[in-house]
Amino acid sequence: MAKTTLAPRKGFLSENPSVLRFLGLLALFTVIVSALAEGFGAGVISTSFLKVLGMTLCLCLIAVAMDVVWGYCGILSLGHFAFFGLGGYAIGMWLMYARTEGIVRESLANAPIPATETEIRDAIASQIFSVVGSTELPFIWGFAHSLTLQLLLIVLVPGLLALVFGWLAFRSRVTGVYLSILTQAMTLALSLYLFQNDTGLRGNNGLSGLQNIPGLLHLPQATVALWFFWASALALGLGYLLFAWLVSGKFGSVIRAIRDNESRVRFLGYHVESYKLLVFTLTAMVSGIAGALYYPQAGIINPAEVAPITSIGCMARSSARPVSACCQAGSPAAARRTSTWAFTRSSGRIGGWCCSALASWRSRCSSRKALAACSTTL
Amino acid sequence: MPFRTLLSRAVVVAAFVVMTVAALPRPANAQDGLQPLLQIYAEELAQPSRRTFGAVADALLADGPPGMVNFLRRFAAREVVQRPEDGLFFYAQDAGDLVRLIDVDTGDAVAEVSSRAVDQIRANSGVRRVIAAALVPFELNAPDRARREAALDAISRSADASQIAPLAASIAQEPDPDLQARKERLLLLLTAQFGADRPARLEAIAALGGDTSIEARSVLNQLTATRAEVASILPDDANIARVLTVGMDLTQAEAYAALVDAGLAEPAQTPSELRDVLAANIVEGRVGGVPIGRLSDPAARIAAYEALEQSGAVPPRAAPDEAARAVAAHVFYDRYILDDAEITTAAQDALDSTAQAIATYQMADLVLDGLSLASIFFLAAIGLAITFGVMGVINMAHGEFIMMGAYTGYVVQLFIPDYTVSLLVALPLAFLVTFGAGVAMERTVIRHLYTRPLETLLATFGISIALQQLAKNIFGTQARPLTAPDWLGGALQFNDIVGISTIRVAIFVLALIFLGVLLYILKRTRLGLEVRAVTQNPGMAASMGINPDRINMLTFGLGSGIAGIAGVAIGLYAQVTSEMGASYIVQSFMTVVVGGVGNVWGTLAGASLIGFLQKGIEWFNPSNTLAAQTFMVLFVILFIQFRPKGIVALKGRAAGD
C-alpha cells in the first residue's frame, strides 16, 4: 500500500498492458468478423450467425460484470440475469411502441379525418395488448414513446432494483449461500411478476418483433445486425475498461479483501456494505446495458428468460470460467476466456452443461492446467 | 349429484316400481287398465273444471292402476286428447301435420289422425294446480321409499307453493327418519320461499340463517334479489335495498349508461361518433369551415361540429357537462324485486348470518388448503433439509431426485398393473434408486467440493440439467401419468364449502411420517449421532473414531432417498415430467432457509409459513395464483432481512460461522 502511494503513479493502461491486449484482440475480432459479414458483401458469416456473435459479446459483457461481482467481491449473485432481462424489457418497450406507432400512423393516414393523439395512443395500446385481452396502455409504458427516457430506464431500473435489494441484503449481513438463494428468490419473484398478464408487460407472450428497429426499417437486417454487433463490441470494450480500471486501484484491493475476509475489512474501518452495494449496483447497470443490446438481436424477450433456472444456466455458462480462473489468475485472461466460454452457448447444450459442471469441479480438485485443457477441447 | 344422474335413477326406480306393482292382484276394474276407469269420469275429464276436478283426481288416484299418476301428469300437460267417435282418451304426439294417438294403457301408437279429428282437452291453470296437489301427496306417501324420494327430488327441482300443504301433511306419516328430516328441511325451504302464512314464513326464513347449503342460500338470494333502478327522487313506496353513490358504488359512465337505458337521457356522443359525423360532412376539404388538416386537434373537432350544428347540418350535441348534471339530478338505487319489506329484511338478516357461517367455513377450508400446501412444500424440502440444512451442501439437483422418484413410480406401474401394490413397491424402490444416485453423486462430485459451496451450486446445477436431459431422452417430453389407487381418488367433503381431496390428506400423513422418522434417525440412532457429530466438527468426529467420509455419503444418500419418496407422492397428484423437479427447487431452498438451516423442525416451520402465507395471499385474489406467489417470494426476501438465520436459528457452537 505504502509503495503505491509513494511511487509516482504510472498511467492505468501502461500499468495494465493486459487491458490493451484484450481491447486489441476485441478490435481485431470485430474487424475480422465485420469484413466477413454479409453486411459488407463478403457473406462468409451469415446474418443469423453474426447476431449470435453479437449476442455472445453481450453475454461476455455480463460475464465480465459477474466476474467483478463474484470473482472480485465474492457475491454469488443469481440475480444479474434478472437485471439483464430488465434492460431487455426496457429497450423492448420502446422498440415495440415506436414500431407499432409507425404502423398505426400509416394505417390511420388514409382516414378521412386526421387522427388525434389520443386516438393514436388508443390504437397502439389495443395493438400491443390485444393478446392479453386489454386495450389500455399500462402506466409503466408512460415513457415508452421516448427513446431517451427508455434508454435511461435501461440503467435506472436495474440500478434502482439492485440498490434497494442490495441495501436490504447487505445491511442485514446476508452473505454467501444465503445471499445466492436470496438473489435467486428475487429472480423468481420478478419472473412470476412478469408472467402475469395484468402487470402490463404482455405476460407470457413477452415482447416480440424487437429485431425491427423503428426508423431503420428501410435497411436490410444484415446491416442492422452489423451495427448491433459493433455496438455490442463497443459496450464490451468500454465495460471491460471500466471494470479493469475499477479493480486495478485501491477500490479493487478493498473489494478483493472483502471477498477474502469480510470481517477483517470491516474491523479495518472500511464500510463494507457501501463497497458491496456499489459493486452490486454498478454491475447490475452494466447487465441492464448488456440485456438491452442482447434482446434486439434475439428479437424476442419473455419472462422465461428471467426465470431462476435460466439465470443460473446463463450464469453457469458465462461465468464458470472467469470465476474459477480469475480467483487465481486475475481478470484479463479470464475475460478473454469468457468469450470462448460464452461461445458454448450456441454449441451443443448438454455438452456445455456437463462441461460447466466438470470445469468448476476440476478447478477445485486439480490445477488450472486441467481447466485450460478443458477449454481447448471445447 | 348431477341432475342427469338423479333423473336416470328416478326413471330406473319408477320402472322398477311399475313392474312390481303391476304384478300384484288388482281390483276387477283396475285390471282392465286405465281406459274403463277414465270412461266412468269421461264427462268431468272432457270438460275439466277447477271446482270439481279435485274430487275426480282423488277418485282416479284412489284405486287407479299405477299408470294413473302418469296419465294425470300428461293430462295436466295438455297431452291428452279425446276421440269424439267413441269418447276414448289417448295421449297425443306430434307427427308432422298429424297427431299420433297413443293408447293410454299399452303405450302403443293406435292411429295418426288430423288434429281436427280429436278434441284436445285444455286443462286450465286452476285444474293443473289441482292435479299437482293431488299428485304430490300420492307420491309423497307412496309405500315405496324410492318413490317418495323421487317425489322429494321433484319438489326440490321445481318448487311450488302448492306443495307446501301436502308436504307438511306427509311428514308425520314418514317412517324413514332420513327422509323425514329431508322433508322437514324441504318444507322449511318451501315455506320460506312461498309460505302464505306470514309468521310461519318469517320463522322459516330466520331458521335458514346460518345454513350454508346451496339450496338455502339460493332461496334467500331469490328473496333478496334486487334490480338497479334510477329515478329523479327516491320513491317512498318502493322496497329499497340500498342507495348507490355515484363515484363509489358505480362509476360516472355506468351511471350515465343506466340513465340512457332507463330512457332518462340521450346517449352521449362518443369521440368516434363525432369523428364519423365529421367525416360524413366533409365539403371541399373542410368540415364546417375548419380545414381537415387541423382536425387532429380535439378542440378543432368540437369547433367544426358546432359550426355544422349552427348551419343545421347535424343535430344538436349534448353539452359536455350535461352528462354530469343529468347524473347528479338523479338518484340510483337497488330495489328488491319482492315488495314485502318485512320478508326482504328477514331474508337479508338470514343471509348476513349465513355469510358469517360461510366465512368461518372458508377460513377452515383455507386452513386445510394451507396445511396441504405446507405438507407438499415440506415433502419437497425435507430431503434438502438434510443435504443442505444439516450438511450444508447446495444441491441444485435435488429437484431431479424428486423427478427420479416420480419416474420410478411410473416405471413400476408399467410392470405392476395393480395401483395399490405398485405404490407399495414404488415407495421403497424410489428410495433405493435415489439413495444410489445420491451416493454416486456425493462420491464423484460433491466430496471434492465440501469447502466450496458456491462451486457446488454450479456443479450440481450442471448435473441437474444433465439429468433432466437424460429423463427427456428416456421418457420423452410429454407428461407421464402416475395414477393413484382408487382409495386415494376421492375427497373428504365436510360440507358444501369445506373439503379436501384424499390424496392431499395422504400427503399430509406422509409428511408427518417423514418428520417422525427423520427426527428419530437424527436424534435416537447411532447414525444420527454420528451425522450431527460430523456436521458440527468433522475433525473432532474423526478423531473419535467416526469415519466422516462414510457418514457424509450416507447422509447425502438419505436426503436424496427421501426426495425420491417425496417424488412418488408429488407425482401422484401432479404430472410427471422431466421438469417437475425444477419447479420445486427454488421453493424448497426458500423453505429451508426461512425455516432455519440445520434443523428439521425449522423446515417444518418454514414449510408451514410459506404454505399458509401463499394460501392466505391467494385468498385475497383467488384468480391470480401467480400474484400470490410473487408476493410470497417478496415476503420471504423481506423475512430473511430480519431473520437471516431463519425461524429456528441454531445457537451457540452449532451455529458455526
Contact B497, B591 (CB under 8 A): no
Taking only residues 539 to 598 of chain B, the set having a beta carbon closer than 8 angstroms to any beta carbon of chain A reads 582, 585-586, 589-590, 593
Name, in order, each residue with C-beta under 8 angstroms of B364's C-beta and a sequence gap of 6 or more. B494, B497, B498
Q: Is residue A22 part of a domain?
A: yes
What is the pLDDT confidence band of residue A158, given thresholds at 50, 70 and 90?
very high
Q: Given an 8 Å threshold on Cβ–Cβ distance, is B298 in contact with A118?
A: yes
Taking only residues 84 to 103 of chain B, the set having a beta carbon closer than 8 angstroms to any beta carbon of chain A reads none
DSSP A123-184: HHHHHHHGGGT--S--GGGTTTT-HHHHHHHHHHHHHHHHHHHHHHHHHTT--HHHHHHHHH
φ/ψ of residue B112, rounded to 5: -120, 120
For residue A356, give the 3-state DSSP assignment.
Answer: helix
Kindly state whether residues B379 and B432 are assigned to the same domain. yes
Choose, out of B455, B473, B632, the residue to mutate when testing the contact with A (most A CBs < 10 Å). Answer: B455
Query: How many Å apart are CA B543 and CA B524, to the nearest integer?
Result: 22
- Span A85-122, pLDDT tens digits: 999 999 999 999 999 998 888 888 877 778 888 888 88
Question: In b/e form, how buried is each residue of B447-459, taking b as 16+ CB within 10 angstroms?
Answer: ebbbebbbbbbbb
For residue B491, give the 3-state DSSP assignment.
Answer: strand
Contact A166, A273 (CB under 8 A): no
Contact A73, A323 (CB under 8 A): no
Q: Is residue B365 part of a domain?
A: no
Closest listed residue to residue B222, CA positions, set B265, B192, B188: B192
Q: Given an 8 Å threshold on Cβ–Cβ distance, is A177 in contact with B453?
A: yes
The domain total for chain B is 3
Count other Cβ atoms within 10 Å, centred on residue B524: 10
Question: In b/e form, how buried is each residue of A192-216, taking b as 16+ CB within 10 angstroms?
Answer: bbbbbbebbbbbeebbbebbbbbee
Residue A348 has a pLDDT of 33
Choose, out of A172, A353, A363, the residue to mutate when testing the contact with B (most B CBs < 10 Å). Answer: A353
Q: Given an 8 Å threshold on Cβ–Cβ distance, is B466 in contact with A76?
A: no
Q: Is residue A172 part of a domain?
A: yes
* Contact status of B271 with chain A (Cβ, < 8 Å): yes
Q: Given an 8 Å threshold on Cβ–Cβ distance, is A360 in contact with B459?
A: yes
Q: Is residue A111 part of a domain?
A: yes
CA distances to A111, B205, B271 from B296, rounded to whole Å, are 11, 62, 12
Of B90, B112, B140, the position where a domain reaches its end is B140
Q: Is residue A123 part of a domain?
A: yes
For residue B329, give the 3-state DSSP assignment.
Answer: coil
Q: Closest residue of B to A323, CA-based?
A: B455
- Between A171-175, A333-337, B127-131, B268-272, the lowest mean confidence (pLDDT) is in A333-337
H/E stretch holding B103 reads strand B98-103
Domain assignment of residue B512, given as a range: 373-580
Highest mean pLDDT among A8-22, A276-290, A340-354: A276-290
Query: How many Å apart are CA B350 and CA A344, to the nearest integer?
Result: 69
Judging contacts by C-beta atoms under 8 Å, the chain A residues touching residue B278 are 113
Strands (E), B362-508: 491-493, 499-501
Query: How many Å apart are CA B270 and CA B260, to the nearest integer?
Result: 14
* Contact status of B299 with chain A (Cβ, < 8 Å): no
* In B445-484, alpha helices (H): 453-475
Kindly state whether residues B394 and B293 are assigned to the same domain. no
CA B597, chain centre distance (Å): 39
Q: Given an 8 Å threshold on Cβ–Cβ distance, is A186 in contact with B637?
A: yes
Amino acid present at A263: S
Q: Given an 8 Å threshold on Cβ–Cβ distance, is A354 in contact with B462?
A: yes
Q: Is residue B191 part of a domain?
A: no
| B543 min Cα distance to partner chain A (Å) | 25
Domain assignment of residue A277, given as a range: 13-307
Kindly state whether residues B415 and B466 are assigned to the same domain. yes
Q: Is residue B54 part of a domain?
A: yes
Query: How many Å apart are CA B519 and CA B600, to the nearest integer?
Result: 7
What is the pLDDT confidence band of residue A327, given thresholds at 50, 70 and 90?
very low
Judging contacts by C-beta atoms under 8 Å, the chain A residues touching residue B466 are 350, 353-354, 357
Residue A156 has a pLDDT of 95
Closest listed residue to residue B464, CA positions, set B587, B590, B578: B578
- Span B165-198, pLDDT tens digits: 778 878 887 888 888 888 888 888 888 888 777 8
**CA geometry: angle B473, B476, B477, nearest 5 deg:** 115
Judging contacts by C-beta atoms under 8 Å, the chain B residues touching residue A309 are 582, 585
Judging contacts by C-beta atoms under 8 Å, the chain A residues touching residue B295 are 113-114
Kindly state whether residues B422 and B517 are assigned to the same domain. yes
Amino acid present at B135: L
Judging contacts by C-beta atoms under 8 Å, the chain B residues touching residue A349 are 469
Q: Is residue B644 part of a domain?
A: no
* Contact status of B398 with chain A (Cβ, < 8 Å): no
Query: How many Å apart are CA B200 and CA B205, to the nearest integer?
Result: 9
The domain total for chain A is 1
The number of helix segments (H) and strand segments (E) in chain A equals 16, 2
Kindly state whether residues B444 and B570 are assigned to the same domain. yes
Q: Is residue B443 part of a domain?
A: yes
- Which is it for strands B89-95 and B98-103: parallel, antiparallel or unpaired? antiparallel
Query: How many Å apart are CA A363 and CA A174, to the nearest integer?
Result: 27
pTM of the model: 0.72
Contact B401, B560 (CB under 8 A): yes
Count other Cβ atoms within 10 Å, centred on residue B292: 18
- Please, what is the end-to-end C-alpha distance for chain A in angstroms? 40
- Please, what is the end-to-end C-alpha distance for chain B in angstroms? 60
Query: How many Å apart are CA B225 and CA A128, to the nearest integer?
Result: 41
Closest listed residue to residue A284, CA positions, set B247, A276, B591: A276
Q: Given an 8 Å threshold on Cβ–Cβ distance, is A360 in contact with B455?
A: yes
**CA geometry: angle B572, B578, B584, nearest 5 deg:** 65
Q: Given an 8 Å threshold on Cβ–Cβ distance, is A361 in contact with B448?
A: yes
CA distances to B28, B387, B634 from B24, rounded to whole Å, are 12, 76, 75
Spans in chain B with pLDDT lower than 70: 1-32, 63-65, 133, 137, 157-158, 318-320, 454, 650-657
Q: Is residue B602 part of a domain?
A: no
Give the residue-averaged pLDDT of A225-252.
89
Residue A8 has a pLDDT of 53
Kindly state whether residues B378 and B514 are assigned to the same domain. yes
Q: Is residue A148 part of a domain?
A: yes
Name, in order, each residue with C-beta under 8 angstroms of B246's C-beta and a sequence gap of 6 or more. B252, B255, B327, B328, B332
* Contact status of B448 with chain A (Cβ, < 8 Å): yes
Q: Given an 8 Å threshold on Cβ–Cβ distance, is B449 in contact with A76?
A: no
Q: How many CB pairs under 8 A join A and B?
A: 142
Q: Given an 8 Å threshold on Cβ–Cβ distance, is B640 in contact with A174?
A: yes
Closest listed residue to residue A179, CA positions, set A28, A54, A69: A69
Contact B83, B101 (CB under 8 A): yes
Q: Closest residue of A to B299, CA-based?
A: A116
Give the residue-averaged pLDDT of A333-344.
37
State yes or no: pLDDT of A150 exceeds 80. yes
Query: How many Å apart are CA A319 and CA A313, to the nearest integer?
Result: 10
Kindly state whether residues B319 and B403 are assigned to the same domain. no
Q: Given an 8 Å threshold on Cβ–Cβ distance, is A308 in contact with B461?
A: no
Q: Is residue A141 part of a domain?
A: yes
Q: Given an 8 Å threshold on Cβ–Cβ distance, is B462 in contact with A116?
A: no
- Span A130-140, pLDDT tens digits: 888 777 888 88
Which letter does DSSP use for residue B226 in this model? E
Kindly state whether residues B408 and B516 are assigned to the same domain. yes
Q: Is residue B261 part of a domain?
A: yes
Kindly state whether residues B305 and B396 are assigned to the same domain. no
Q: Which of A114, A189, A365 is the closest to B293 by Cβ?
A: A114
Residue the block writes with cell 434492460: A87
What is the pLDDT confidence band of residue A289, given thresholds at 50, 70 and 90?
very high
Q: Is residue A156 part of a domain?
A: yes
Amino acid present at A325: A
Closest listed residue to residue A161, CA positions, set A72, A255, A285, A307: A285
Query: How many Å apart are CA B151 and CA B414, to the nearest integer?
Result: 48
Q: Which of A171, A176, A181 is the closest to B589 by Cβ?
A: A181
Q: Closest residue of B to A356, CA-based?
A: B462
- Span B621-651, pLDDT tens digits: 777 778 888 888 888 888 887 887 778 776 6
Residue A248 has a pLDDT of 83
Give the residue-averaged pLDDT of A149-153.
93
Give the residue-averaged pLDDT of A183-211.
86
Q: Is residue A281 part of a domain?
A: yes
Q: Closest residue of A to B287, CA-based?
A: A113
DSSP B598-645: T-HHHHHHHHHHHHHHHHHHHHHSTT-HHHHHHHHHHHHHHHHHH-TT
B372 burial level (CB within 10 Å; 0-12, 13-18, 19+): buried
Kindly state whether residues B420 and B559 are assigned to the same domain. yes
Q: Is residue B196 part of a domain?
A: no
* Contact status of B412 with chain A (Cβ, < 8 Å): no
Q: Closest residue of A to B583, CA-based?
A: A309
Kindly state whether residues B322 and B397 are assigned to the same domain. no
Torsion of Cα atoms, B26 then B31 then B33 then B34, to 10°: -50
Query: How many Å apart are CA A61 and CA A26, to the nearest integer?
Result: 12
ipTM associated with this complex: 0.72
* More confident position, A365 or B44: B44
